[in-house]
Each structure stands twice: as structure tokens, then as C-alpha cells.
């Protein structure tokens, strides 16, 4: 590959392999430790590892599962990992993949939340993750190129991707509406009986209802028991109720729900200030795991301020339970139906159109992330119905720009792995900070 060639090689051909449970646990643990960069970077990482390197799921099934997860409330990347784990090893595979995706980041966010509660902002941690964010930007760009080349097959799908980006980035249209519009376009384009034969995948309705009832109980009963023991007005009860409601309305990812969360956390409950909310989002952005882990930061601080360290730990645990238990409910109930949808030609066409819209959303995340990594000050202004992000040129972070260029060179030109790229960029970010402090 000469210079900065953006041509992406096709995924390796060959049959899908079936790993042992131990191998699956090992790989999903690695994904959990490296899942920086929000949904775009995490989707790219899983595509690289699960589709290209391990070949545990084929390209079409991966993208169809991604489409399905984008329709659900909650963190789509975590749910995608859960789905792939379920395909490989059923219930235990789904649980292992989902938990391993969340727990490394949850432990890191908890540790940083405790440090924040005790000392406030820690410049050394900020410097360490400066390089991480720069590397993640390169990973997100790589994801955009790979997925767009493989997903956009004709002019209509390119147009759908462009319209999705415009709708999300400039107009602030809710993502579920964009998904519905894209699905409608694809459904109308599809021809009944074409492309694939109609295949009936047998699914037990009673088993589906039993699974739904079981996971509803797992989600709700422990939280209800705590509320009964502590009283409805206790901060832990309020955390359980608030984040359970949030888990049902988080369509479009953490950014889409941030305004709603800030309004209640800052304005209604008074748990945190708006500045502390932004600090929490910054911690979640620069740690592995889904961005919605910002809720753990909120739950810990809210409970800590009411009852000290023990109460803070309970608040973090309740927040994680209320946020992620519903994700297993959505996947274990809906996953058996994904392949049935894919075998219906009109629905398969609708899902392909949704994939095109997802490319537009990943472009939105890429541009948003790039602006906020490279510039320290970004203003938002409205021009009629159009939202414009205006970075302040004088606030450009030259060290972030240099590290991002380095990461692009490592990934695209030298073909280094994600682990090497993250380690080198984070180490250089930390070294730059120590040098600056020394000077």
C-alpha cells in the first residue's frame, strides 16, 4: 500500500469457523479490553476480530445483526457482541460476550469515579487518554472505510447513507426515525420472492415468552427488592428507577440520550453539576466499553454524596444492573428472529437499506469524534433548522493532530495492530504531558 491508500482489502474468504467456549471467552475478553472509541470504534474492532481474523461470523450475518442491534434501545456494540456470543455458544456465550464487553470498562470507570470523588480531575489520567483518543480516531476512520466499501452496493444506498448523515449531523433527526425511513425505502425496493428463497426458521413462541419473562424478572426484581427495603425516596431507589427508564429510551446511543439525562440528573435530582456531567462523559469516552458507562459515574457520585464509599459502590452496581440487564433481555428474546428476517427478501432489502443508513451514522460519529479530539473548543449554532458545529481554529490540539496522523500511518501504511497503535499513542501522550510539566 503506497502512501495513504484508502483501498480496503476484502474480508478473507473461507468457511465460518466454530471456536471452543474457552477460545471465545479469550477473544471477547481481548475485545472488552480494547473497545475504546464509542460505537464506531467498537463495531470496527469487532468486525476486524470476529469477521476478518477469527472468521466466526460471516460478513452478511454480522451486518444484519448490526442492523438489528441499531433498532434496539441501549448500547448497540455491547448488544452486537452479545448476539455473536449467543450465535457461537447459546446463552452462556451471549452472557460471556456481553459481560466481557462491559466489565473491563466498568471497573476502569469505577476506579476513575472514585479518584474523581476524592481528588477531582487528575491531569495524568487525562494525558494518558489523550493518545488513546487520537488512536481511536484512526480506528474509527478505518471502520468507516471498511464498512462503507462492503455495505454500499449501488447509488441508492449511497444516497441513503448521505441522507442519514445529513439528518443526524445537521438536522438532529432522531435515529429511530432515520432507521424507519431507510427500512421503508429498502422494503419498497425489494421484490417478493426474489434474491433468496423463503426459509422458515422454526421458533417456539412459548420459549420466547418464557425468555422474556425470565429476563424481565432478572432485571426488575432485584431493583424492586432494594426499593422496598430502602424506601421509594432513597437515592438508591431513585437511581434504580431513573436508569431503568433510561434503558428503555436510549435509542441512538449515549449521545442521543445525554441531553435527557443531563436535564434530570442536574436539574431535577441535583445529583451532579453540568460540568461534572461533561467530566463523566469524558471519562467514558476515554475508557474501554460502551459510552453509556457514563451512567455508572453518575450513579456512583449520586450515592457517594448521600452515604459515602459503600453507598457509592452500591449506586454504581445498581446503575450497571439497571442499564445493562435490559440489553440481555432484548438480545435473548429477539436474536432467534434475526435470521428469519434475513431470509424474507423484502425484509432483507429493508435491512440492507438500514445498513446504508448505519454507514451515515458512523460517518456522523467519525466527524463528531474528530472535531472534539482535534479541537479544545467547539461551538454549536443553529442556522434555521440546520445545526452547525464550529470548532475554534485557535483551540486546535497539535499534539492530538500529530498523534492521530501517527495512528493513521501505523494502521494504514505499516499495518500495525490495534493494541500496538493504542499503546504507542497513549505512551506518547503521557510522555508529552510529563515533558510539558517538566518544562
Kind plus residue range of the DSSP H or E element containing 237: helix 235-249
pLDDT tens readout for residues 232-291 = 999 999 999 999 988 886 655 555 556 567 667 877 788 987 667 766 766 776 678 887
The predicted structure's pLDDT at residue 437: 67
Q: How far apart are CA 177 and CA 145, in angstroms?
A: 25
Which three three-digit cell numbers place residue 127? 494525558
Ramachandran angles phi, psi of 51, nearest 5°: -90, -50
pTM: 0.69
Is a pLDDT exceeding 50 seen at residue 12?
Answer: no
Strand 378-383 relative to strand 386-391, pairing: antiparallel
Range 322-349 burial, b when 16+ CB lie within 10 A, else e: bbbbbbbbbbbbbbbebeebbebbbbbb
End-to-end CA, the chain: 40
Three-class DSSP category at 234: coil
Q: How far apart are CA 209 and CA 77, in angstroms?
A: 25
The answer to whether the beta carbons of residues 27 and 45 sit under 8 Å apart is no
pLDDT tens readout for residues 297-317 = 999 999 999 989 999 999 999
Least confident of 28-32, 130-134, 314-318: 130-134
- Rounded to whole angstroms, what are the CA distances from 333 to 105, 203, 212? 26, 11, 6
Residues 6+ away with beta carbon under 8 Å from 369 = 37, 38, 40, 136, 137, 140
Amino acid at each position: 500500500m503506497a502512501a495513504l491508500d484508502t483501498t480496503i482489502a476484502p474480508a478473507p474468504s473461507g468457511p465460518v469457523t466454530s471456536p471452543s467456549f474457552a477460545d471465545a471467552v479469550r477473544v471477547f475478553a481481548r475485545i472488552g479490553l480494547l473497545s475504546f472509541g464509542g460505537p464506531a470504534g467498537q463495531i470496527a474492532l469487532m468486525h476486524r476480530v470476529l469477521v476478518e481474523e477469527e472468521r466466526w461470523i460471516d460478513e452478511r450475518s454480522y451486518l444484519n445483526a448490526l442492523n438489528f442491534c441499531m433498532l434496539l434501545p441501549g448500547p448497540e456494540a455491547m448488544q452486537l457482541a452479545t448476539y455473536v456470543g449467543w450465535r457461537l455458544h447459546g446463552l452462556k456465550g451471549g452472557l460471556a460476550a456481553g459481560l466481557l464487553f462491559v466489565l473491563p470498562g466498568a471497573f476502569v470507570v469505577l476506579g476513575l469515579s472514585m479518584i474523581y470523588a476524592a481528588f477531582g480531575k487528575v491531569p495524568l489520567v487525562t494525558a494518558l487518554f489523550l493518545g488513546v483518543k487520537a488512536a481511536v480516531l484512526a480506528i474509527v476512520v478505518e471502520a468507516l472505510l471498511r464498512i462503507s466499501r462492503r455495505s454500499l452496493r449501488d447509488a441508492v444506498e449511497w444516497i441513503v447513507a448521505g441522507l442519514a448523515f445529513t439528518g443526524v449531523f445537521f438536522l438532529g433527526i432522531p435515529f429511530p426515525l432515520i432507521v424507519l425511513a431507510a427500512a421503508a425505502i429498502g422494503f419498497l425496493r425489494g421484490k417478493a420472492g426474489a434474491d433468496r428463497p423463503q426459509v422458515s426458521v422454526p421458533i417456539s413462541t412459548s420459549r420466547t415468552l418464557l425468555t422474556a419473562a425470565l429476563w424481565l424478572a432478572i432485571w426488575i426484581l432485584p431493583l424492586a427488592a432494594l426499593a422496598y427495603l430502602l424506601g421509594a425516596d432513597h437515592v438508591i431507589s431513585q437511581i434504580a428507577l431513573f436508569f431503568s427508564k433510561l434503558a428503555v429510551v436510549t435509542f441512538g446511543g449515549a449521545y442521543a440520550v445525554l441531553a435527557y439525562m443531563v436535564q434530570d440528573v442536574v436539574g431535577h435530582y441535583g445529583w451532579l453539576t453540568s460540568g461534572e456531567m461533561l467530566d463523566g462523559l469524558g471519562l467514558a469516552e476515554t475508557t474501554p466499553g460502551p459510552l453509556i458507562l457514563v451512567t455508572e459515574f453518575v450513579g456512583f457520585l449520586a450515592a457517594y454524596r448521600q452515604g459515602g464509599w459503600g453507598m457509592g459502590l452500591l449506586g454504581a452496581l445498581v446503575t450497571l444492573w439497571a442499564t445493562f440487564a435490559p440489553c440481555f433481555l432484548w438480545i435473548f428474546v429477539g436474536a432467534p428472529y434475526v435470521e428469519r428476517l434475513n431470509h424474507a427478501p423484502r425484509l432483507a432489502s429493508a435491512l440492507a437499506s438500514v445498513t446504508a443508513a448505519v454507514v451515515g451514522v458512523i460517518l456522523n460519529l467519525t466527524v463528531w469524534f474528530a472535531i472534539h479530539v482535534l479541537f479544545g473548543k467547539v461551538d454549536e449554532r443553529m442556522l434555521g433548522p440546520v445545526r452547525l458545529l464550529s470548532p475554534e481554529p485557535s483551540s486546535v490540539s497539535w499534539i492530538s493532530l500529530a498523534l492521530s496522523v501517527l495512528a493513521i500511518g501505523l494502521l494504514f501504511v505499516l499495518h500495525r495492530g490495534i493494541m500496538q497503535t493504542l499503546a504507542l499513542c497513549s505512551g506518547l501522550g503521557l510522555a508529552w504531558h510529563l515533558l510539558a510539566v517538566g518544562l
